[in-house]
Amino acid sequence: MSVVEAPTATVSLDPPSVPPVGPERHPVRTAVMYVLITVIALGVLVPFVWMVSSSLKNNNEVFTVPTQWIPRDFQWNNYVDIWSRIPMTTYLRNSLFLSLVITFLQVLTGSFAAYGFSKVRWRGRDALFVAYIATIAVPWQAYMVPQYVMLQKAGLVNTFWSLILLQAFGAFGVFLLRQYYLTIPDELCEAARIDGLSEYGIYRRIILPLSKPALASLALLTFVATWNDYMGPFIYLTSNELWTVQLGLKSFVGLFDGDYAMIMTGSVISVVPILVIFLIGQKYFIQGIATSGLKG
Amino acid sequence: MAITAAPPTAPTASSAGSGTTGRQSRRNTLIGISFILPNFLGFALLTLVPVVAAFGLAFMEWDSYNPAEFVGLDNFQKMFGNDTFWIALRNTLYYGIGHVPLTLLCSLGLALVLNRKLRGVRFFRTAAFFPYVTSLVAVAVVWNMLFNPTMGPVNQLLTTLGVANPPGWTSSSDWAMPAVIITSVWRDMGYYMILFLAGLQTIPVEYYEAARVDGANAWQRFWHITLPTLRPTTFLVLILLTVGSFKVFDLIVVMTDGGPGRATLVLSQLIYREGIAQGEFGYASAISLVLFVIVLLVTVLQFRLGERRDR
Amino acid sequence: MNRKALAAIGAAAALSLTLAACGSGSGNAPDDEATESGPVDLSVAVWSMDQTPEFQALFDAFEAEYPDITITPVDILADDYPEKVTTMLAGGDTTDVLTMKTLTDYSRWAGRGQLEDVTDLVTDYPDGKLAGTDGYDQDGKFFAVPYRQDFWVLYYNKALFDAAGLDYPDHVTWDEYADLAQKLTGTDAAGQKVYGTYNHVWRSVTQAIAQAQNDGDLLSGDYGFLTDQYDLNVGLQKDGYALDYSTAKTQQVSYRTMFETQATAMMPMGTWYISGILQAKKDAKSTVEWGIAPMPQVDDGDTTTTFGGPTAFAVNKAAKNKDAAKKFLAFAASLKGAEAISAIGVVPALQSDDVTAAYFALEGMPTDDLSKEAFAPDDVALEMAPSDITADVDVILNEEHDLIMVGEKSVDDGIAAMESRVKQDVLD
């Protein structure tokens, strides 16, 4: 079974020749662009606005028909009460710990494996890679119980270890980084090989520095996925002191109904760390148009 | 466990007999394996083994507690004779055909628009990512409200545009799936935008400079530089989107719960229902195996097509 | 690609799984006979403790009665409680006591042999009449003991009835109920729309009550007995006397919101809501003046037939402390257990005059005779009989209920579809 080789072949180092064409910076175009993205941004934020609005209501005013966008009277105390109604600090700390450890391991092992899948040629590589990707397609619900039985036998249920082991070695990161490594011209690696650098040296000195945007985006997406995960922690973490934010929020749902004002309050709070990570991460995965190491 | 050692050694064995290049190739294999090993060990033990075990269950009857019993192809027979399975399969494909191309286009468009030096662009990028981190309950409630057949703004707009009978959206069997697709595109585009943004960073600025010197306009630069260079990223997004759309679960559960009737019931929901909820783990595994095979075929097809285009 | 290797992995994995399953199923029965003396640490699986104060009330009362037993709750989120317990049991979990959220879950776990036989606790019950035990009868054996029993009543808003100059719904028929709903529909002083009644989106609102009052059987595959009730409820929303189902479902409307913000004058609902409404009034989050009345009936008369469902505790077959666990089950169903939970507005399974008196002595409870009569229905039918086909039938009935209520199918077409699908997919 052979899998597609790096599409980098199309990236020739010669600039493509194209016919000449008129000027390029238009104030009108910029204005149109602003209007466009402002409209998109507003449309995109509407549900978030509902979330914030609901977090400032009494619970029995959240789901009303028709929707009430501005709370009748603002329940600012929701943001105070939530800290005493559930151990929010503990949950935040647990979520943060899990997200950071899993993100770190995923980026580390993922980037390492991605190098093996993209820059070193060996037989069987592509078949193994397809197996990797294909497992992403299996819904977790399908193998949840066998997995649980295994981890229960290993005595890891109800510890952070279970979740770290389950989520840190995902195929997703390997796939993502492999695709980015493919865009890094093989010529760079070849040159380094001729200079006598070992494969590990090439990985560390050339690939890693060049793939910062990809590493940053993987880190962001892994962090968010772990932070927002509900089913994993629900199945594996039973003791209350190990619970994550998402479990804590769900604890406001009772047998027949739930305290949705509190859930929305907690949801707004739990978005804050993501926002911080996102703003930090932006610096790395968006630098405007990049320069590559090709020049020298 | 002996199992985990099997896949990495298999390629080594098969590459051994290839003549003079044998040593070099074996060396490369060892190096390659040393790179993937840390990730692969964890992956094989904790994902691959349970997945394969689950597939084994497809040929058994298991209630999660008592010993499993081999039943051959009974589960598949039951599945193919059950119209709920076919409805769920059709809905899943319908969702994928709508969700994948639309999300691809929207996220690429967003990334291109937001990959420039505009004032306030940081805010807009953050905003575009927000749907992905907004609570699903909020997403479901607000979109259902927008889609409300009588009071919702969507239909009010359609009416003023002259549409005589605007659709019933989530309360109608015919329109529930389009409503779900629109919502899912809205929710996911920020996520894939991140991948495209990172991909755009790898395009060397020299390419654009050279093209500009040659007088290429924006469209030409996009078509001849951005798109080809972005191909590995596009491929990544395409596969992730395909796989993701075959697995769609959360959004549908909170937005329509498969309804009205079975109009938006998808395979992963059926797997959940039959397996963990009803305790028919063998049957649920059989459905997952079919889902897996479909996704595998589609993925291999996408790989092949990508390969042909590169020649 | 090496197919043999893959096949080998598959076989090995399947084998290891089977072995694991065997191990959890039969192997590790603990020898618990020796743990009679000394302090015992009893673990009890419950859902959302913060939202469900009855558990803490029971635990406190139990620990006071048995000082040498301490209870460790295993708190599981209510939403996915059965899924988590199923997974835990598959892994050989040793939590002592398990709460049975629904009869369907119970029959599944009991059927697999995951629960301890506690028949003696039910047959030798000392304190009087324990409601709801029928649902747990598995060929004469019982694997769980009910401690609470909820049933459906008609909640109504006294102020809205007074304002409309109408009598409270005292033993009304469904026709009279529809008539009241029409008269009570309107707008309040603040311009808010007020509906005559509110039917929550659950299918039991229509189906279980029709089954109870028309001697129907939801597992039979013949659903003609549902026609009248569907005609009534579809008619109510069509005429605008009840909030329409589509809106209620897609906007995730909460029945508490409907009643507590006085957007509806009547509402059929289970007795579990009593503790919720008491709490809302206590916290000054609602000003509704409320009462409960017996469920409307098909025919005129004073007998009340409604439906409901029990909640029970069971002992895990793999429990570490089976004796203490059985003590807990017996206590929860006893008079002392009943007093502990009725003190917070929960309806215990044990039925006696003392319990009822204690219940209506609660602060904030309506004390009129009608409410007390509502609390003593003549007949409480099960919502749905537990059996190995219940879960499959449930899915089909839900889907067709959905289609009838959103107006995609006529009542007759929907019922015909229920009959053909249940007969074809489940009964065959």
Helix (H, G, I), strand (E, B) or coil at B153: helix
Check if the beta carbon of residue A232 is closer than 8 Å to that of residue A163: yes
Relative to beta strand C97-100, strand C40-47 is parallel
| Whether B141 contacts chain A with CB within 8 A | yes
- Closest residue, chain B, to A51 (C-alpha): B138
The vertex-C269 CA angle with C232 and C106, nearest 5°, equals 110
The 10s digit of each residue's pLDDT in B156-181 is 888 888 888 888 898 889 999 999 99
Q: Mark which residues 276-305 of B lie under 8 Å from A by CB.
A: 276, 281, 284-285, 287-288, 291-292, 295-296, 299-300, 303-304
Report the 3 state secondary structure along C19-86: HHHHHHHHHCCCCCCCCCCCCEEEEEEEECHHHCCHHHHHHHHHHHHCCCEEEEEEEECHHHHHHHHH
What is the model's pLDDT at position C37?
Answer: 59
What is the model's pLDDT at position A123?
Answer: 82
Looking at residue C60, which CATH number applies to its domain? 3.40.190.10
Is the omega angle on the peptide bond into residue C310 within 30 degrees of 0, that is, cis?
no
Relative to beta strand C129-130, strand C141-142 is unpaired
What is the model's pLDDT at position C203?
Answer: 93
Who among A37, A124, A290 is closest to B113 (CB)? A37
What is the model's pLDDT at position A256?
Answer: 66
- Closest residue, chain A, to B289 (C-alpha): A138
Yes or no, beta carbons of A41 and B128 under 8 Å apart? yes
The 10s digit of each residue's pLDDT in C194-240 is 999 999 999 999 999 999 999 999 999 999 999 999 999 999 999 99
Q: What are phi and psi of B103, to 5 degrees?
A: -65, -40
Cα C20 to Cα B52, C23, C236, distances in angstroms: 15, 5, 54
Residue B101 or A6, more confident: B101
Q: Tell me, rounded to whole angstroms, the distance of Cα B49 from its chain centroid.
A: 22
Picking from C17, C24, C43, C87 by the largest number of A CB atoms within 10 A of its own CB, the best residue to mutate is C87
- The alpha carbons of chain B give a radius of gyration, in whole angstroms, of 24
What is the model's pLDDT at position C292?
Answer: 95
Same domain, C197 and C209: yes
The vertex-A37 CA angle with A34 and A41, nearest 5°, equals 135
What whole-number distance in Å separates Cα of residue C401 and Cα of residue C204? 10
Lowest mean pLDDT among A4-8, A213-217, C247-251: A4-8
What is the model's pLDDT at position A65?
Answer: 66
Helix (H, G, I), strand (E, B) or coil at A169: coil
Cα B166 to Cα B25, B162, B163, B260, distances in angstroms: 64, 9, 6, 18
Cα A36 to Cα A31, A44, B114, C215, distances in angstroms: 9, 12, 11, 62
CA–CA min distance C425, chain A (Å): 23
Q: Mark which residues 31-70 of B lie under 8 Å from A by CB.
A: 31-36, 38-43, 46-51, 53-54, 57, 64
Q: What are the residue boundaries of the structural domains of chain B, listed by start?
A: 2-57, 76-310
CA–CA min distance B63, chain A (Å): 11
Lowest mean pLDDT among B142-156, C96-110, C111-125, C219-233: B142-156
What is the model's pLDDT at position C324?
Answer: 94
Strand partners, C97: C44, C315
Helix (H, G, I), strand (E, B) or coil at C186: strand
Residue C4 or C282, more confident: C282
Yes or no, beta carbons of A65 and C273 under 8 Å apart? no
What is the model's pLDDT at position C168?
Answer: 95
Same domain, C296 and C417: yes
Residue C61 or C359, more confident: C61
What whole-number distance in Å separates Cα of residue C409 and Cα of residue C403? 6
Q: Mark which residues 142-201 of B lie under 8 Å from C by CB.
A: 144-145, 147-149, 168, 170-173
CA–CA min distance A224, chain C (Å): 22
The vertex-C199 CA angle with C198 and C204, nearest 5°, equals 155
Question: How many domains does the structure of chain A reveal?
Answer: 1
Same domain, C221 and C118: no
User: Contacts of residue C75 in chain A, CB cutoff 8 Å?
Assistant: 238, 240, 251
Check if the beta carbon of residue C234 is closer than 8 Å to that of residue C411: yes
The 10s digit of each residue's pLDDT in C386-409 is 888 888 899 999 999 999 999 999
User: Contacts of residue A31 in chain B, CB cutoff 8 Å?
Assistant: none
> How does DSSP classify residue A3?
-
Q: What are phi and psi of C297, to 5 degrees?
A: -120, 170
Cα C399 to Cα A36, B137, C82, distances in angstroms: 41, 21, 21
Q: Which pLDDT band holds residue A293 (cuts at 50, 70, 90)?
A: very low
Q: Mark which residues 154-213 of B lie under 8 Å from A by CB.
A: 186, 190-191, 194-195, 197-211, 213
Relative to beta strand C97-100, strand C69-76 is unpaired
What whole-number distance in Å separates Cα of residue C92 and Cα of residue C76? 17
Same domain, C294 and C344: no
| Whether A255 contacts chain C with CB within 8 A | yes
CA-CA-CA-CA dihedral for C297, C302, C308, C311, to nearest 10: 170
What whole-number distance in Å separates Cα of residue A98 and Cα of residue A245? 11
Q: Which class for B264: exposed (0-12), middle (13-18), buried (19 or more C-beta within 10 A)?
A: buried
Q: Which parts of chain B have pLDDT scores under 70? A: 1-21, 307-311
Yes or no, beta carbons of B141 and A278 under 8 Å apart? no
What is the model's pLDDT at position C27?
Answer: 37
Yes or no, beta carbons of B261 and C400 under 8 Å apart? yes
Yes or no, beta carbons of C90 and A60 under 8 Å apart? no
Residue A26 or A295, more confident: A26
**Strand ranges, E, within C59-189:** 69-76, 97-100, 129-130, 137-138, 141-142, 145-157, 186-187
Give the mean model confidence (pLDDT) for residues C9-36: 44
Q: Mark which residues 79-138 of C lie under 8 Å from A by CB.
A: 79-80, 83-84, 86-88, 90-93, 101
Check if the beta carbon of residue C401 is closer than 8 Å to that of residue C417: no
Check if the beta carbon of residue C259 is closer than 8 Å to that of residue C291: no
Is the omega angle on the peptide bond into residue B260 within 30 degrees of 0, that is, cis?
yes
Q: Which of B73, A142, B84 is nearest to C426 (CA)?
A: B84
Task: Give the tokens for residue B113.
Answer: 């628009």
- Residue carrying the six token digits 């009855």: C54
What whole-number distance in Å separates Cα of residue A286 and Cα of residue A269? 26
What is the model's pLDDT at position B19?
Answer: 45
Yes or no, beta carbons of C25 and B57 under 8 Å apart? no
- Tell me which H or E stretch contains C325: helix C322-333
What whole-number distance in Å separates Cα of residue C293 and Cα of residue B308? 73
Q: Tell me, rounded to whole angstroms, the distance of Cα A24 from its chain centroid.
A: 35
- Residue carrying the six token digits 């807009």: B124
**In the predicted model, is pLDDT for residue A165 greater than 70?**
yes
Look at phi and psi of residue A158 and say left if phi exceeds 0, alpha if psi is from -120 to 50, else beta.
left
CA–CA min distance C19, chain A (Å): 11
Give a yes or no: residue A129 inside a domain: yes
Looking at residue A226, which CATH number applies to its domain? 1.10.3720.10
**In the predicted model, is pLDDT for residue A163 greater than 60?**
yes
Question: To the nearest whole number, what is the mean pLDDT of chain B?
Answer: 84
User: Contacts of residue A17 in chain B, CB cutoff 8 Å?
Assistant: 214
Relative orientation angle of helices B22-43 and B6-15, to the nearest 10 degrees = 170
Picking from A289, A291, A294, A295 by the largest number of B CB atoms within 10 A of its own CB, the best residue to mutate is A289
Q: Which class for C289: exposed (0-12), middle (13-18), buried (19 or more C-beta within 10 A)?
A: middle
**In the predicted model, is pLDDT for residue A184 greater than 60?**
yes
Yes or no, beta carbons of B135 and A182 under 8 Å apart? no
User: Contacts of residue B259 in chain C, CB cutoff 8 Å?
Assistant: 249, 399, 402, 406
What whole-number distance in Å separates Cα of residue B265 and Cα of residue B271? 11
Who among A20, A141, A183 is closest to B272 (CB)? A141
Q: Which pLDDT band holds residue A14 (cuts at 50, 70, 90)?
A: very low
CA–CA min distance C268, chain B (Å): 23
Yes or no, beta carbons of B206 and A292 under 8 Å apart? yes
Q: What are phi and psi of C293, to 5 degrees?
A: -130, 160
- Closest residue, chain B, to C397 (C-alpha): B261
DSSP secondary structure, A95-146, as one string: HHHHHHHHHHHHHHHHHHHHHHHHTS--TTHHHHHHHHHHHHTS-HHHHHHH
Q: Which pLDDT band holds residue A183 (cuts at 50, 70, 90)?
A: confident
Give the mean model confidence (pLDDT) for residues A69-93: 88
Amino acid identity of C280?
Answer: A
B76-310, what's its fold? Answer: MetI-like fold (1.10.3720)
Q: Which of C200, C199, C217, C221 is nearest to C208 (CA)?
A: C217
User: Contacts of residue C246 in chain B, CB cutoff 8 Å?
Assistant: 149, 168, 170-171
Task: Give the tokens for residue B2.
Answer: 């002996």
Look at phi and psi of residue C407 and say left if phi exceeds 0, alpha if psi is from -120 to 50, else beta.
left
CA–CA min distance B259, chain C (Å): 7
Q: Which pLDDT band holds residue C74 (cuts at 50, 70, 90)?
A: very high
What is the model's pLDDT at position A25?
Answer: 59
Yes or no, beta carbons of C84 and A234 under 8 Å apart? yes
Amino acid identity of B284?
Answer: A
Same domain, C268 and C303: yes
Who among B65, B141, B273 is closest to C25 (CB)? B65
Yes or no, beta carbons of B277 and C400 under 8 Å apart? no
Range of the domain at A119: 84-285
Q: Which pLDDT band holds residue C331 (cuts at 50, 70, 90)?
A: very high
Q: Which of C368, C348, C365 is nearest to C278 (CA)?
A: C365
Lowest mean pLDDT among A6-20, A190-204, C100-114: A6-20
Amino acid identity of C428?
Answer: D
**In the predicted model, is pLDDT for residue C286 greater than 70?**
yes
Same domain, C143 and C164: no
Burial B145-167 (b: 16+ CB within 10 A, else e): bbbbbeebebbeeeeeeeeeebb
Range of the domain at C112: 30-150+309-376
Same domain, C110 and C230: no
Give the mean model confidence (pLDDT) for residues C95-123: 91
**In the predicted model, is pLDDT for residue C106 greater than 50?**
yes
CA–CA min distance B55, chain C (Å): 8
Yes or no, beta carbons of A260 and C254 under 8 Å apart? yes
Strand partners, B60: B70
**Strand ranges, E, within B54-194:** 60-61, 69-70
Same domain, C273 and C415: yes
Yes or no, beta carbons of A125 and B285 under 8 Å apart? no
Same domain, C299 and C361: no
Give the mean model confidence (pLDDT) for residues C97-103: 92
Who among A60, A149, A253 is closest to C280 (CB)? A60
Question: How many domains does the structure of chain C reveal?
Answer: 2
- The alpha carbons of chain C give a radius of gyration, in whole angstroms, of 24
Relative orientation angle of helices B176-201 and B83-114, to the nearest 10 degrees = 40
User: Contacts of residue C251 in chain A, CB cutoff 8 Å?
Assistant: 63, 65, 67
Give a yes or no: residue C2 inside a domain: no
- Closest residue, chain C, to B49 (C-alpha): C13
Give the mean model confidence (pLDDT) for residues C85-96: 90
Same domain, C404 and C276: yes
Chains that touch B (3 or more CB pairs under 8 A): A, C
Which residues does C364 contact at the CB level (< 8 Å), separation at least 6?
C278, C281, C282
| Whether A47 contacts chain C with CB within 8 A | no
The vertex-C78 CA angle with C76 and C81, nearest 5°, equals 65
